[in-house]
Amino acid sequence: MNVELAAIFGVASSTPSPSPSFLFTNRGFGRRLFSSPSIHPSSPCSFALPASNSKSLIILRPRSFLSPTSPDMDSSAGTGLYPLHRCKTLHLVRHAQGIHNVAGEKDHSAYMSYDFLDAHLTPLGWEQVHNLRKHVQALGLNKKIELVITSPLLRTMQTAVGVFGGEAGEDGITAPPLMVANAGKSTQPTISSLNCPPFIAVELCREQSGVHPCDKRSTISEYRSLFPAIDFSLIESDDDILWTPDVREKNEDVAIRGKKFLNWLWTRKEKEIAVVSHSGFFLHALGSFGNDCHPNVKSEICTNFANCELRSLVIVDRSMIGSASSTTNYPGKIPSDLDLPSADMGEKHPEMVKDK
């Protein structure tokens, strides 16, 4: 197995295709908040340090891990530079506690119960949502995020609008609400779509599908009535044709789907995006990253997400998948004139430096 490929998704491909490398940072929030019952073979992956130290980037080395104290470790191996316009910032959020989580922690076979079909949030889950919302607003992330992408399952959409949506209690006369009052067996008021980024539902980032009824979505027609301001235009079928009652989606297929999702992000113009998804999706999409990084960095990337946990990361387009151009670079030489580097002046223009 190609090591670089394994570092991303742990799956092999006989037809490699260009794919971006991913730089991970971490603003972990929400862990234990409440106690409750194929990349191109020639391109190594890259990771970044936690967001509190995100100016330092760690380059993932293929094939072997060199400890920081190894004499063979290049002193510059822990730093990488990338053009800003080739990067996007992602804020990953796992949904808050759902009714299936409570039952499943007590008895794993509960995940097979149709009582938890398209599971909704618990009252404790809504408390987790409100606490994460406060965190996001305190950091000012709500003013930076340009797009919210959500899995099209009830619990993720409830979490997404609760954390990143407008103020609660507004009547939706000026603009359609993100969520109507009491949606999905909640006791929550209407959530406004004013003064917040657009929301879009995407099947590629839904939970590992099949067998578990909690991972089967309702119809898009029903969702549109509950979440009027979420854009469902990218979902082709009203019914959930991806979920099957007797076959669970393979782990490696979820990983491949995760790669497709990350590549799809480069078709978007937004530079700072929130993604609200599931533990299984994040586990398989991210779980093979960091194998050649320091163990602490590996842990920061690959540990399971707690309910309503937030982690921030940066993805880098190293394969020119996107077509972004810089909005901050400046060409210089305006107006144009001689600007040879000083080291070359003496050789090419000795008359300009003979009296220097």
SS3 string, 185-204, reads HCCCCCECCCCCCCEEECHH
Measured torsion, CA atoms of residues 246, 251, 257, 263, in degrees rounded to the nearest 10: 170
3-state secondary structure of 58: strand
Strands 272-277 and 147-150: parallel
Clarify whether 95 is annotated catalytic: yes
User: In this structure, are residues 47 and 22 in contact, taking their beta carbons and an 8 Å threshold?
Assistant: yes
Q: Which residues pair with 168 in a beta bridge?
A: 191
Active-site residue among 91, 100, 203, 207?
A: 207
Clarify whether 91 is annotated catalytic: no
Active-site residue among 91, 95, 212, 284?
A: 95
The runs of H, that is alpha helices, within the chain are 3-8, 99-106, 123-139, 141-144, 154-164, 220-226, 251-264, 279-286, 295-302, 342-348
Encoding tokens for residue 129? 């949502």
Question: Running DSSP on this structure, what letter comes out for residue 177?
Answer: -
* Other beta carbons within 10 Å of 255: 22
Radius of gyration over every alpha carbon of the chain, rounded to an integer in angstroms: 23
Active site positions, annotated: 95, 207
